[in-house]
Amino acid sequence: MMTGGDKNSLLSDINVTPFVDVMLVLLIIFMATAPMMVQGVNVNLPEATAKPLASEKDHLLITLDKGGNIYINNYKVAPEQLKIKIQKILEGRLDQEVYLRADKDISYGAVVKLMSEIKEAGVEKLGMVTETVENKK
> What x-and-dash track marks residues 91-110 binding another protein by CB under 8 A?
xxxx----------------
Range 25-54, binding another protein (CB under 8 A): 39
CA distance 22 to 38: 32
Taking the C-alpha atoms of residue 113 and residue 111, their distance in angstroms, rounded to an integer, is 5
Beta partners for residue 102, in sequence order:
64
Taking a C-beta distance cutoff of 8 angstroms, is the pair 99, 64 a contact? Answer: no
Question: Residue 26, Cα to own-chain centre: how many angstroms?
Answer: 13
74 versus 135: smaller Cβ distance to another protein: 74
Question: 125-132 and 47-48 as β-strands: parallel, antiparallel, unpaired?
Answer: parallel
With CB under 8 A as the contact rule, which of the stretches 20-28, 89-97, 100-108, 115-123 interacts with another protein?
Answer: 89-97
If one asks whether residue 89 binds another protein (CB under 8 A), the answer comes out as yes
- Quick one: which segment of 29-37, 57-65, 110-118, 128-136 binds another protein (CB under 8 A)? 57-65
Q: How many residues bind another protein (CB under 8 A)?
A: 18
